[in-house]
Chain A
Amino acid sequence: MKISQAVKMAFSSLAGNKMRSFLTMLGMIIGVSAVIAMMSIMDGMIGYTMDSFGGMGASQITVNLTSQTDTRQLSDDEVYKFLEENPDYFVEVSPCVTMMQSLRNEHESLDNKSVSGVSEAYAAMEEDEIGEGRFLSYLDVEKRNKVCVIGTYIADQLYNDVGVLGSNLKIGSDTYKIVGIMEEQEDSEENSADDCVYIPYTTAARASGNARISTYYFQMKSTDASDASQDVLENFLYSVFHDSDMYTVINMASLLDMMDDMVGMMENILVGIAAISLLVAGIGIMNIMLVSVSERTREIGIRKSLGAKKRDIRYQFAIEAATVSTLGGIIGILLGGLLTTVLGNLVGIDCSPSMSAIGISFGVSAGIGLLFGFLPANKAANLNPIDALRNE
């Protein structure tokens, strides 16, 4: 018997008992659609998280000096000296002094905006491009110039984008000259990367009234040596503070590694859940196929009396199980795709059904049908035709 014939037979048999066929498939449908939805949303979420982490720069190490005392403190000069002594590990550093200030010009004002005091190296480290004018210069930092570079959101809000460069901007109580506008990154939305004001960190340190700088961004030479670089930096900090509680070192690369590990673990767990749910679906199929074999004993007897061999009967039932299972798998894939889109929209994450999940689900559902169909099919094949015919 050809496979097309067997599949045809399977379909007509399934069509003859629609309700049961559907219920048999249900386990598969739910299993597969859940697997696809979970895996796809997971993928979407990972992508989203990775994107936002990637934006922070994987080659950066952030140092926070949480408490400095008169005897144990670190000045920016010492940090720069450290940088010079370790060219194999670090290429740049930028101190960072952040404050919340109000921004004002003649017409408009914005309250509670984050103003970052950074060095001239900052823009390059962040791979942020300058749109108009220039970024802060070494001289600005050196001379504590009152100049600033603003994001497009600020330019938009305060100046409507006209005559921005060279204008004066009041940050807190001091007046700064705008020397540059950053290139637009995120549609000039509020609280986005475009909502920023940069001033020289030296100026910021003075304006904030706190001469001690507590945050430094280090740029590593290579992410491959991220652990070694972190060690070098930590040793240096320890030699200054003699207490690891006085500073924190956040390494983006090792965070990303950790994320990767976690994602890998999550994926393994998902695969486990998927395997269990598909196993349950397979057992459901086996169960119903066994019932079906008992109910169709007479049919089996008739077929055998007409010359069906054991393998014909086995084949018929195995293909039937595989067909239900695969059909359930296909419906599950469609439903899973729908679910992914709907849930993705709901959560606001860009999700598309993962191709690998679809492929795996399809293969696995067909395989499970065959595997779990085997026992019932064998039972059917081994029925004695005389007993089977006598069955009412």
Chain B
Amino acid sequence: MEERKHLIELWDICKVYKMGDSEVRANDGISFTIDDGEMVAIVGKSGSGKSTIMNIIGALDVPTSGCYCLNGIDVSKMNDNQLAEIRNKQIGFIFQQYNLLPKMNLLGNVELPLLYAGIGENKRSELAMKSLKRVGLGDKWKNRPNQLSGGQQQRVSIARALAGNPSLILADEPTGALDSRTSKEVLDFLKELNEEGNTIVIITHDNSIALEAKRVIKIHDGKVSFDGHVEEYRKLVV
């Protein structure tokens, strides 16, 4: 039987922060794999090491030890420029605070990853426009981010994440700044994207949001304490 290729492979990831004499093991031997097309929630209490593992998965940082392969390529020993390339081509970030550039219009914001991918002006705005339309904000492309509601801004950041057609969409507390109704909208939208075949990883401390995913990985004190189907997780928490 041929083994299926994983999108994400984490082998014994450790991240150690040194603070003077003491050291914090933010990630302490994390291993799991995520396949193409999955929708995974990574949950854990504050300080458990979620952001740390997200930074590593998102190629914003490299582990102190362990191995991280994305699409079969070892990312854990890459230099800054190679990491930037990975972020640009493979990963679409969705942040809690949207992280849009306030002085650019929506189109300009969505174009950014394409700009750094070296795509020409015409093609860039075409792709960005398509992406903006995909999140239902095509007619507002001229607006500035601050002229939009929080939910709309988060949709723009989703459009930006989608624009470069990445292999992985990485959402860090995507609903953290939204009320429950808009949160649901955003989550439903992410689910929809997943249905279309996008791989989605959501980092959250909120169990109710984790329960919207198909698979849940729980981090506790920098280690994986649960990894399984969402229904099994539901039984644990309810």
Contact = CB atoms under 8 A, between A and B. Distances in A.
Nearest to A388: B60
Given A305-B60, A309-B85, A386-B55, A12 B118 contact: no
Contacts of A13: 103
Interface string A282-305: 000000000000000011011111
Contacts, number: 60
Interface string A242-276: 00000000000000000000000000000000000
Contacts of B104: 12
B87 A305 contact: yes
A298 B98 CA distance: 12
Contact of A1 (B87, B88, B118): B118
B60 A386 contact: yes
B88 A306 contact: yes
Given A303-B112, A303-B116, A306-B160, A386 B61 contact: yes
A301 B100 CA distance: 11
A389 interface: yes
A310 interface: yes
Contacts of B80: 309-310
Contact of A308 (B55, B84, B89): B84
Contacts of A389: 60, 95, 99
Interface string A307-321: 111101000000000
Given A1-B115, A385-B60, 4 more contacts: A12-B103, A302-B100, A306-B87, A306-B93
30 contacts: A1-B115, A1-B118, A12-B104, A13-B103, A298-B99, A299-B101, A302-B99, A302-B101, A304-B87, A305-B58, A305-B60, A305-B87, A305-B93, A305-B99, A306-B88, A306-B93, A306-B113, A306-B116, A307-B88, A307-B89, A307-B164, A308-B84, A308-B88, A308-B116, A309-B81, A310-B81, A386-B60, A386-B61, A389-B95, A389-B99
Interface of A: 1, 5, 12-13, 16, 298-299, 301-310, 312, 385-386, 389
Interface of B: 55, 58, 60-61, 80-81, 84-85, 87-89, 93, 95, 99-101, 103-104, 112-113, 115-118, 121, 160, 164
